[in-house]
A and B are shown apart, each in its own frame.
Chain A
Amino acid sequence: MPPDNSASCGVSIIQFDPDGDVILVIPSEAQKRTARFQINSHSLCLASPVFRAMLGINASFKEGNALRNRNASSPPIDITLEDDEPRALAVLLRIVHHQYDWIPRTLNGNQLYQVAIVCDKYDMRGVLGLWLDQWIPLDTNCGGKIVGDQWLYIAYTFGRKALFTQLSKDLILTSTVDANGTLLAPSSTSDSAQSTSSFNHYIPSSILGTCGARLGFLVVYTDRLQRKFLHADSRP
């Protein structure tokens, strides 16, 4: 039976498990809306070590204590998750609760990116399994409307090794470094030096640092090539 969905007064309620012991509350201050997802905490703990740390039997968080103290007649406990994209979280919760008919067969770049953020935050890549093959076929074109470093983040989060290697190479070739050796994102316009933007803050700094180091080496090597071929060290 499909879950009951209802929306009223800016509140959207989805019962992923009608007998669920937890309601995830995802407020959106900007849009004055709130999503309430009734879920099974055991399923979620199996899917996410982050939720296991929060809600598991050995959890020391107040949410874990509240769960342990409830009985069969107790209402589900509310847990508020700030800053999550409810639609992306809902996709993951559908998978966790085995409601495969409710899972989109395709996701565009932005939707994938939103799923990646939630997936990364709660360390839930493992539950995606074959859905990733469905959403990101091997011949995926990484162009489109979202910028390249978002695709890099998607490839990193979802463990797409070849794609990650290819995109990180592209990033090295198209980025610049400042005087401090800090990697600067490719500019969105081709001819303005002032339009370099910062990178997506979800990308681990270790990745950007490694890209910056490799680019720094390439800049030095390029300078050496120029000196060799243009005889810059033997000015007339």
Chain B
Amino acid sequence: MLECIYQKIETYRDSAAVLCAYKTKGDLCDSFFLGFLMKTFTRFKIYSPNISERDNYQASLSIQGLKNVLDGLTIPNIVLQDGTSGRCDRCGYPRPTAHAYTCSPMPGLKRRVGVMLTEIRGLEWTQFVRNSSIGGATTGPKNQDLWDYLEYN
């Protein structure tokens, strides 16, 4: 469930590697954010350098659990400013909050996972109901007047 996040964290775990997905000046937002993510995940034992511990955690993680993890993350309130304009080179926002929500990858992921959860539907009971061939139907009569149905010949 968290393979991609773990993969990113692994990429940025080496403190000597200041990397960025965009490889352009000013686009350090991802690495900055993921560094924060790594610390947070490690602190809450969601991430561990130990692969066995990670696998165990992932094996027990449900979709609801993933949402809870993402909901528990705060977005770092930091802006990487361009030296001259005072704005982020990538999103153009000067304010930390707006910048964080634009440049950090996690808000979008959190939002989409939240939307996904609202769109999930449960199963339809009628899909699984049994009807007995020997008369013990577990569903009642459909579309029938249950008061006036006597027919006199």
Given the contacts A126-B137, A222-B1, A232 and B8 also touching, CB distance less than 8 Å: yes
A52 adjacent to B122 (CB under 8 Å): no
- With A and B bound together, what is the CA distance between A167 and B121 in angstroms? 10
The answer to whether B116 touches A231 (Cβ under 8 A) is no
Binary CB contact string for chain A from 73 to 117 against chain B (1 if under 8 A, 0 otherwise): 000000000000000000000000000000000000000000000
B7 & A166 in contact (Cβ 8 Å cutoff)? no
A234 at interface, CB cutoff 8 A: yes
Asked if B98 is an interface residue, CB under 8 A from chain A, the answer is: no
Q: A40 interface residue, CB < 8 Å from B?
A: no
**A173–B30 touching, CB < 8 Å:** no
Q: Does A50 contact B (CB under 8 A)?
A: yes
B residues 32-80 in Cβ contact with A at 8 Å: 34, 45, 56-66
* Nearest chain A CB to B128 CB, angstrom units: 6
On chain B, the residues within 8 Å of A207 by CB distance are 123, 128
Known: A48-B136, A168-B122. A206 touches B129 (CB 8 A): no
Cβ–Cβ contact B112 & A159, under 8 A: no
Of A167, A223, A230, which is within 8 A of B122 by CB? A167
A103 to B4, CA, bound (A): 56
- Which of A15-23, A133-141, A213-221 contacts the other chain? A213-221
Which residue of chain A has its CB nearest to the CB of B121?
Answer: A169
- What is the distance, in angstroms, from B61's C-beta to the closest C-beta of chain A? 7
Task: Write out the residue numbers on chain A whose beta carbons fall within 8 Å of the beta carbon of B130.
Answer: 123
Is B145 in the interface zone, CB < 8 Å from A?
A: no
Q: Say if the beta carbon of B124 comes within 8 Å of chain A.
A: yes
CB-CB under 8 A from B64, the residues of chain A are: 173-174
Which residues of A173-216 are within 8 A (CB) of B?
A: 173-176, 178, 186-187, 191-196, 204, 206-207, 210-211, 214-215
A52 partner residues in chain B, CB cutoff 8 A: 134-136
**Binary flags per residue of B122-147, CB closer than 8 Å to A gives 1, else 0:** 11111111101011111110000000
Known: A173-B117, A176-B61. A164 touches B122 (CB 8 A): yes
Q: Besides A166-B122, A230-B8, 9 other CB < 8 A contacts?
A: A49-B134, A168-B122, A175-B62, A176-B59, A210-B128, A218-B63, A219-B1, A234-B21, A236-B21
| B interface, CB within 8 angstroms of A | 1-5, 7-8, 11, 19-21, 23, 30, 34, 45, 56-66, 105-106, 108-109, 112-113, 116-117, 120-130, 132, 134-140
Could you list 27 examples of A-B contacts with CB < 8 Å?
A: A49-B136, A123-B132, A123-B136, A123-B138, A126-B140, A161-B126, A164-B123, A165-B121, A168-B123, A170-B122, A173-B117, A174-B65, A175-B62, A176-B61, A187-B60, A195-B60, A210-B127, A218-B116, A222-B63, A225-B112, A225-B116, A226-B3, A227-B4, A229-B106, A230-B109, A231-B21, A231-B105
